Structure 1
Amino acid sequence: MSSPEAASSLSGKARLEPLAFSDLDGWARDDHAAAFEAFRRSCQALDAQGPELRPAQKQQAGLIAICRKALSVGAPSGAEARRFFETHFQPFAVKPLSGDGFLTGYYEPEFEGSRTRDSRYTVPLLARPDNLVTIPQGETLSGLDPDLQAARRTAEGYEPYPDRAAIEDGALGSLAKPVVYLREPGEAFIIHVQGSARIRLTDGSVMRVAYAGRNGRPYTSIGRLLVQRGEMDLETMTLEKLMGWLKDHPEPARALMRQNLSYIFFREASELVEEDGPIGGAGIPLIPGRSLAVDRSLWAYGLPFWLDGRLPVTLDRTEPLQRLMIAQDTGSAIVGPARGDFYFGSGPEAGTRAGLLRHPVRFVVLQPKTSS
């Protein structure tokens, strides 16, 4: 049986159908040691009670107990890691009450930038303003639209935070403090969507920027808007084509990007070393191919998910996706019980593959056994 916590968060959205591990095509062929290492990373954060960057559903007591066991076994072989998951978890197919499972991809972009503004670098990424109040998951503030996830603190109380257009037009005043400057508005927009980046500075060093908050406004996909307008075809859209369009059509692009009311704030992530992935919603560095972004209003970080579908290699070629991943991140566009975002890694190649992934996928969640 699934846990009461899972049943409560999924009520009216999905049902969970129990499976055996033998029902999971490709299960025996996966690299369970790699999945275990990603799981251990989540467990270390849970054990340390580290703060989540974007709080999700509270972890079940059973998951925390399993994590303590994971931290005591060291680095298991693939076979040992597989037995660990099979011993302590029960797979459940996630069956949305409407729609099907759907997977997209994301990555950590790399762009050129400067700590100071000049004639070439004019587009800022802004630091989190002092008056931004993030509304905890599942809570609301009196007098505000319950769909808003942030507010502005004023002398009279709280009010909706300015949207993207207002912020770009100077609504933050002296609270708008740039972290770094980029060349193109489209580059900044892509970083807003991805939530992190590596910035190659003019002195040759690399700055890492990480998510520090958002204005709480709803997210709108500009790629979907371009498809609806007939500017691009969904089947042949790539990240490169999207960024090319934004660069070649500066005025229409500015208006288009402003239709996404959501605005992201950043900080310099100086604690990260080169080999670290960006910081995910769970507050830990992500692992390419093993970190999954999920709907944080429905799922807890640290839960393992088995994905079964196809991964694009090029526009015309896909490869099988049968892989155990760990919920370690979230995203404004990741909404629904069988909706995920696959972290590909850093740089242009990861970006190309991430931009191609928008495919149906079967989601299976591994829930802690009641007696493990």
Structure 2
Amino acid sequence: MSDHASDFVLQAISFDRLKGWEDDDPSSLFEGMRSCHRQITDVKPYRTGSLGLSSEDLLPLLAAAEDFKPSSPASARGFFERHCRPFLIRRKDGNPGFVTAFYEPEIEVSEKPDGLFRFPFYRRPDNLIDLDDGNRPDELDGSYVFGRLRDDGRISAYPDRREIDQGFLEGRGLEIAWAKSKIDVFFVHVQGAARLRYNDGRIGRITYAAKAGHPFSAIGKLLIDRGQIDRDEISMQSIRAWLGRNPERVDEVLWHNRSYIFFREAPVVDPQAGPIAAAKVPLIAGRSLAVDRMIHTFGFPFFIRADSLTHLDHGGPFRRLMLALDTGSAIVGPARGDIFTGSGDLAGERAGTVRNDADFVILIPKAAAGRFD
């Protein structure tokens, strides 16, 4: 484990101590694991997080999943019991883990702008470049992984949300489609993907391609700090309602979040499948987790127990095995996750109010687990 992971420890536990494990049905994870296996072996391995778990550590589990077809929830659980050992992620500051949720919105759009459809989704600009320790300017801290390559060869921070909203990218042909609402565009940026319903009936899909590089700043926290929404009432729905009541303040609030997301068009091969996110495989509704990729490596299973989160499981506590298949600017820390609830308005209603303490247990294939005893 590297120094970056020094604020938490992994505590070995047994499956019979995983409260809720005996009631879970992780059967739907196997198709996702097979997709991860193909991505790792046929395309490229996932980046190794600071915890030190690699795609190579994951491969025995994924290989075993290739031909395994669970006959029951118990047989699906038995597969993981045979191949993995569970470790509780325990933060050294004593605080619990925390989950939120995200979804794939469906937005009405037009191929061309007009008086109604005025707010674009942009492709990645060609002067947005990846940054690393070798080319990052001294004035940008290590959180900046994207920057602007200027005409004179210098590298600087890319314009932020306000500058882009005010027209920095106009006239460059980067628009994928135009939406009716600046607020809708903003929340697609937060979610990182969307289904686009064109006015001729076609369905398209966009997914994350890059970002301008500035840190994510939650507008919900801003509204709490300003006394506009009570902390206990904060949700995507309450934020949208506040913005709808205060149209003259929309720009001021949205521009507080300087982060700006660029998209790429993605094929809609299977309308029932989730969007392809950071792990380059389709997300599984209710079973995909966005994690901090600086710490964790995509493809690993996590058992999430959030007893106060009850509206996703018909009033029962949320206790599910999930796959780490995505990441996000706001997902920072060893026990911080974002649950993918699916696509469309109902999924959005489910996702918008998830803000719950949670236990995070990572399942590590047995050959690698010995390094963490």
Q: What is the TM-score normalised by the length of structure 2?
A: 0.90
Question: 1:241-256, aligned counterparts within 5 Å?
Answer: 241-256=238-253
Secondary structure of 1:124's counterpart equals: strand
State which drifts further: 354-363 or 223-232. Answer: 223-232
Secondary structure of 1:62's counterpart equals: helix
Q: Measure, in 2, the Cα distance between the counterparts of 1:86 and 1:22.
A: 10
Cα contact 2:32–2:282 (8 A) shared by 1: no
* 1:141 and 2:136 are equivalent in the alignment: yes
CA RMSD of aligned residues (A): 2.2
Cα contact 1:39–1:304 (8 A) shared by 2: no
Give structure 2 stretches of 5+ with no counterpart. Answer: none
- For residues 97-118 of structure 1, what are the alpha-carbon distances to aligned partners after superposition, in whole Å with 9 as ceiling and x for unaligned? 2332000010011121111101
* 1:59 and 2:54 are equivalent in the alignment: yes
2:88 is aligned with what amino acid?
A
Question: How far off its partner does 1:128 sit?
Answer: 0.6
* Alpha-carbon spacing, 1:44–1:78, altered in 2? closer, same or farther (3 Å): farther
* 1:130 and 2:126 are equivalent in the alignment: yes
* 1:178 and 2:175 are equivalent in the alignment: yes
Could you say which residue in structure 2 is the equivalent of 1:95? 90
Could you say which residue in structure 1 is the equivalent of 2:311? 313
Question: How far off its partner does 1:344 sit?
Answer: 0.3
Cα contact 2:137–2:156 (8 A) shared by 1: no
* Alpha-carbon spacing, 1:330–1:139, altered in 2? closer, same or farther (3 Å): farther
Q: What is the TM-score normalised by the length of structure 1?
A: 0.90
Q: 2:337 aligns with which of 324, 337, 340?
A: 340
* Alpha-carbon spacing, 1:371–1:192, altered in 2? closer, same or farther (3 Å): closer
Secondary structure of 2:317's counterpart equals: strand
Q: Measure, in 1, the Cα distance between the counterparts of 2:68 and 2:203.
A: 36
* 1:289 and 2:286 are equivalent in the alignment: yes
* 1:111 and 2:107 are equivalent in the alignment: yes
Q: Measure, in 1, the Cα distance between the counterparts of 2:98 and 2:276.
A: 23
Question: How far off its partner does 1:238 sit?
Answer: 3.4
Question: How far off its partner does 1:19 sit?
Answer: 0.3
Question: How far off its partner does 1:81 sit?
Answer: 2.4
Question: How far off its partner does 1:77 sit?
Answer: 4.0
Cα contact 1:134–1:216 (8 A) shared by 2: no
Secondary structure of 2:194's counterpart equals: strand
The number of residue pairs the alignment matches comes to 361
Question: 1:326-365, aligned counterparts within 5 Å?
Answer: 326-365=323-362
Give structure 1 stretches of 5+ with no counterpart. Answer: 1-6
* 1:280 and 2:277 are equivalent in the alignment: yes
Q: Measure, in 2, the Cα distance between the counterparts of 1:51 and 1:112.
A: 36
Question: 1:248-267, aligned counterparts within 5 Å?
Answer: 248-267=245-264
Could you say which residue in structure 2 is the equivalent of 1:83? 78
* Alpha-carbon spacing, 1:78–1:186, altered in 2? closer, same or farther (3 Å): same
Q: Measure, in 2, the Cα distance between the counterparts of 1:327 and 1:361.
A: 15
Question: How far off its partner does 1:237 sit?
Answer: 3.0
Secondary structure of 2:113's counterpart equals: coil
Could you say which residue in structure 1 is the equivalent of 2:188? 191
Cα contact 1:56–1:299 (8 A) shared by 2: yes
* Alpha-carbon spacing, 1:225–1:134, altered in 2? closer, same or farther (3 Å): same
1:275 is aligned with what amino acid?
Q
Percent identity reads 38
1:313 is aligned with what amino acid?
H
* Alpha-carbon spacing, 1:176–1:248, altered in 2? closer, same or farther (3 Å): farther
Q: Measure, in 2, the Cα distance between the counterparts of 1:323 and 1:299.
A: 18
Secondary structure of 1:46's counterpart equals: helix
Question: How far off its partner does 1:326 sit?
Answer: 0.5
Cα contact 2:32–2:281 (8 A) shared by 1: no
